[in-house]
Chains A and B, each alone.
Chain A
Amino acid sequence: MKYMFVILMSLLAIAALITRWTAPDARSDVPVLYWATDPNPARIEQIRLFHEWLVEEGHTDENGGPAIELRLDTVSGDPQKLIIQGVSGVAADIMDRGVPALEAYGLLVDITDEAEQMGFGLDQTFPALGEALTVNNRQYGFPCNVATVNFWVNKDAFERVGMDPPPQSWDFETFERIGKEFVKRANPPGERQTVFFCNALTDWYGTMVMSVMMRSLGLDIFNETVTASALDDERFARVLSLLYKWTYEDRILPTAADVASISGGAGYGGAEFSMFSEGKYGMMSSGRWCLIRLREFENPPNLSISQFPCDQFDNANILTRAAGVYAGSAQQDKAMLFFEFLASEKYNMHIVESADSQPPNPRFTQTEAFLRPAEYPHEWGTHETIARIARTSAIADARCPYASEGSVYRALVRAHQEVMANRETPEEAAALAAQRINDDIQLNLAQRPALKERHDADSIIQRKIEDLLEQGEPIPQEWIRNPFHRAYYAEKGLLQP
C-alpha cells in the first residue's frame, strides 16, 4: 500500500509540474496582462487590435512582436468573484466591472497623472461620466465603452399593426396609451397574449427605468448631498404603481411568469433578441450593444429609438463599462498602455464599427461610420439619437460613499418585486426601500469614524439646502454632490451661478 501511495503522490506531483509548465504564463516570452471582463465575443477582436496597436506604436519586443500579451479572464468577470480575488491579492491586472464599486474596496489605482500624460483624461470622454470615473476628483478608470439605455423600437412591428413608431420622447400617459393600443392590435382577441409592448422591465433594467422615471418627477435615490435615501416619497410610489399597472392591469409589459415562459434574457445569448426581432416585443430596453446580436439576424428589423417615459424633466441614464488598473498588479505601468489604446482612434473606431455600445470619445460619434453604417441602413437614425442623448440629457448615477452599491441595488429590486407580488403597497415599498438604504448607511457610518465626520458635515449642508428650497432660493452648486440635482436645479433655475 505504501508503494501505491508513493506512486500516486509522484504521479500527482508530476501532473502538477506539467500543468505549471504548460500554463499560459510560463509559455509567454513577453509580460502577460489579464483583463477581467464580460464574455462578449467582441473582446477577442479587441485584444487582437490592442496587440496590433502596440506594434504600430512601437511597443515591441526584440522580434518585432507586441511587447505585452493581453489575455481575457471572463471567468472572473462576475463582480463578486473579482472583489474576492482582488482583496486576496490575486485579481486580473485590468478590470472593467464598475469603477466606483471596485474603488470602494481600494482595488483600483489612481490614474489621474498617467491619464494626463498619456492622453486618456476625462476630456477624452463624455462629460456626464465624471461621476462614474472619479472618486474625490481623482480618476480611477477610463471607459471601454459608453451607453445610454433606451428603448430600441422595431418599426416593422408597429407598421404591421398599422401604427406609427413611438416618438423619441414621451410622457407616462402617452407611453401607456400607445402601449395599450399596440398590444390590443397585435394580439388576437381570446387567445393567450404573446406580443408585448416591450421586454420585461425587471431587475437591472427595472432599476434603470425606475431611476429615469423618478428623476423625471424630480426625485432621485439619494438626496442632494447623497447623505440619505430620498425614496420614501410619493413620486417613487407613483413610479412603482405605474409599473405594476402596466404589467398586470394594462398587460403592456410581460409579467415574471411571461418572462419565465419565454426564458428570455437580454445578455449575449438571451431569447429577447429573437422576440424583439420577430416583433413579439415592440421595443426592447438596451444599450447600443444589442446591435451586435441583431446584426446576426437574417432580416433585422428597421429600428428607431425612444427614451424611457419621462414626466416634466426629460432625462436619460448614462453608463460606462470603465476599466481600472488593479492595485495589486505588478505591471501597472504596462496596464497604462491599455488605457492609451482605449483612447486611441483605432479602438474608438472599432467600437463604432462593432456596435459594442458607444465609443469612449464622443468625437467619434460624429463620424459617418457611426451615424450611417453602410451595411446597416435599417439602423440609420438610431445612432445619432443615442449619441445626442448621451451628450445632452444623460445623467450618471449618483455615487454615495456611505452606502454599499449592492445594498442600494437590492433595495430597489426588492421594492419593485414586493409591489409586483402584491406584498406591499407602492407607498410601503417606497418607505421600506428608503429604510433599507438608510440602515445600510448608518451601519457603514458606525464602522468608519472618518466617513461619519464627512457625513455629519454634509448633513449640515443638506439641512441648509432644504431651508433654501423651502424659501425658494437658489442653491450653491458646490453644495450639491448628486449629479441629478445639479442638472435638475440648473434647469429649474434654482442653482446659484
Chain B
Amino acid sequence: MSDAPTHRRAETRRLLQGLAFLSPNIIGFMMFTFLPLLFSLFLAFSNWDLRIHNMFHEERLSWVALENFTRLLQDPDFWRYLRNTLFLMMGIPLGIAGSLLAAILLSKDLSGGTRTSRVRIAGIALMTSLVMLGSLGILLVMGFRVTGMMLLIGSLACTVLIGGSIGGATIYRTLFFLPHFTAGVATFLLWKKLYSPQTGPINHGLRPLLENFGAVIVRLPDALIQGGLWLGMAAMAAVFMRGLLFLRNGWRDGELGGNAIITGGLLLILPVCCALFWLTLAPAAYALVTVAVLALIVLCGRDFTRPRAFTCPASEGTGVALLSGAFLMVLGFMFLGLSNVAYALPEMAQDGLTPPEWLTDYDWAKPAIMIMALWMAIGSNNMLLYLAGLSNVPPELQEAADIDGASGLQRFWHVTWPQLAPITFFIVIMSVIGGLQGGFEMARTMTKGGPAGSTTTLSYYVYTEGFETGRLGYASAVAWTLFLMVLVATLFNWKFGSRRTND
C-alpha cells in the first residue's frame, strides 16, 4: 500500500517529462498549424478582405454563412482551374507505374559480373570520359554550341550506364532518387530551360527527327499513314478488351464485386466514348470502335449476367478496379491521342513537322508539366517505398508460384502486386492528396499560371485570390473545398482501396 503514492508520483513525473519533451512540438503544431487551420475555417464563412479588414481599416467583419461557397460554385474560373488540376492528376497512375517499374529494376542485381567484363566496362568508361572531355572542349571553343551540348549529355548518359554496371544498383538508386532531393525551384528552372522552344535540348533533339519524319510522311501513301490511325484504334480497343477481361475474370473468380465492375467499367469506357466524338471524321474508325465495343460488351455481358461460382460483397476489389481502370483509361487516352495524331499527320506534315512550343503553347503547357511531374514521381519517395515493399515480399511465395509453373508476369500479378497492396494504397492516397494540392510551385516558377490560365491549378488560385486580390475569405473557401475533395478521395480510397495484402 505504501508503494502506491510513490508509484503514482513516479508515473506523474514520467508523464510530465514526456509532456516536456513533446511540448515544443505540440505548442508549435497548435500555434502554427492547428489554430491557423481553425482560423481559416472561420475565414471561409466570413467576408474577410484584406483591403478593408486590417489593422488600419475598421470595417466590421461579417459572417456570410455559405456565400463564399455558393459564389465558388458559380465561379467559372474555379471550375476551369479544377479541370486543370484534374487533368494534371491524370499523370498519377503513370507516375505510380513508373516508380514501381523503377523499383523493380533497382531491386535487381545490376553489377557488371565477372572481372573480365568489368575491365571491358572500365575501357568503355575511359572512352566515354574522352568523349566527354572532347565535348567540353567543343563547348568552350565553339561557344557552347548545340552539338557539344548534345555530346556532353550523351556521354553523361553513357557514364551513368557504365557507372551503374560497375557500381551496381546503389548508383542507380542514388541517381533515381536524385530528383527528389533536388530543390523544387531549381528543378523547375532546369526543365524550363529544357523546354525552351528554340534553344532547349529537347526540341534540339526533336527537331531533326521531326523534320526527317515529316519528309518521310509526305512521301508515303495516305493509306499507309492512315494505318497508324487504325493501329492506334486497335491498341485502344486492345486496352479496352484487356480491361474488360480483367473485370470479367475478377467477377467470375469472386475477386471483384458489383461496385468494382461499375467503377472499372466506367473508367474503361471513357476513352472509347471520347473516340466516338473525336473521330467523327473517320467513319471507318467510328465503325471499328462501335463494333469492337459492342462485341466485347456482348461477350463479357454474358458472363456478368450469369450466376457465378464464387460470390463476394459488392464493394470487393473496388480499389483494385479503380486503380487498374484509371491506369488503362490513361493508356487508352494515349492510344487515342496517337491515333488522332496519325489521322492528322499527313496534313500537318505538308508544312513540315515542328516540335511543340511546350510551356508557351496553350495545348502543350499542361502535358509538359505532366511529363516533368512524371520524371519527378518516378524517382520519388514512392520508388523507395516500393523498393522496401519488394524486399519484404516473402521469397517462399515466389518459389511456390515458380514451382506451380507461373510465368514472370503471372508471378508479379498474383504474388508481388497483392503483397504491395498496402504500399500502393498509401501511395495512391498521398499522390491524390499531392495532386489536388499541388501545382503551385510549378505554375509560379515556370508559367505564372499561363498561357491564358492553362496551368493555373486550384492551389495557385488560392494564392492569387488570397494574396494578390486580398480576398482571404473566398480564398479560404476555395482551400476548404480543396480539403473536402481530398477528404472524399481519401475516404473513397479507405473504403474501397486494398489496404491489406489479403484484400
Contact = CB atoms under 8 A, between A and B. Distances in A.
Q: What does DSSP make chain A's interface, helix, strand, loop or mixed?
A: helix
A5 interface: yes
B361 A87 contact: no
Given A257-B361, A404-B470, A107 B196 contact: no
Contact of A87 (B17, B56, B200, B468): B56
Contacts of A257: 197-198, 357, 360-361
Interface string A137-176: 0000000000000000000000000000000000000000
Contact of B360 (A2, A5, A260): A260
A447 interface: yes
A80 B463 CA distance: 10
A418 B452 contact: yes
Contacts of B471: 443
B198 A406 contact: no
Interface string B454-498: 100000000010011111000000000000000000000000000
Size range of the interface on B?
35 or more
Nearest to A194: B198
A417 B454 CA distance: 10
A394 B450 CA distance: 31
Greatest chain B CB density within 10 A among A1, A263, A417 is at A417
Contacts of A260: 192, 195-198, 357, 359-360
Contacts of A192: 198
A414 B470 contact: no
Size range of the interface on A?
35 or more
Contact of B54 (A106, A256, A258): A106
Interface string A426-460: 00000000000000100110011000000000000
Interface string B184-220: 0000000011011111100000000000000000000
Interface in B29-73: 47, 49-52, 54-57, 59
Contact of B452 (A84, A327, A423): A423
B310 interface: no
Interface in B423-466: 450-454, 464
Given A83-B470, A261-B197, A447-B52, A106 B57 contact: yes
Nearest to B24: A9
B49 A447 contact: yes
A421 interface: yes
Contact of A261 (B199, B467, B468): B199
Interface in A344-398: none
Contacts of B359: 260
B56 A404 contact: no
Contacts of A417: 450-453
Nearest to A261: B198
Nearest to B71: A443
A420 B451 contact: yes
Contacts of B181: none
A422 interface: yes
Contacts of A447: 47, 49, 52
B21 interface: yes
B362 interface: yes
Contacts of A104: 51
Contacts of B56: 87, 105-107, 327-328
A270 interface: no
Contacts of A89: 55
A456 B155 CA distance: 70
B470 A255 contact: no
A410 interface: yes
Interface in B339-364: 357, 359-362
B197 A404 contact: no
Which 6 pairs between the two chains have the least Cβ-Cβ distance? A261-B198, A106-B56, A87-B54, A256-B360, A421-B362, A257-B197
Given A406-B464, A444-B49, 10 more contacts: A84-B50, A105-B54, A257-B197, A259-B360, A261-B197, A404-B469, A410-B468, A420-B451, A421-B452, A447-B52
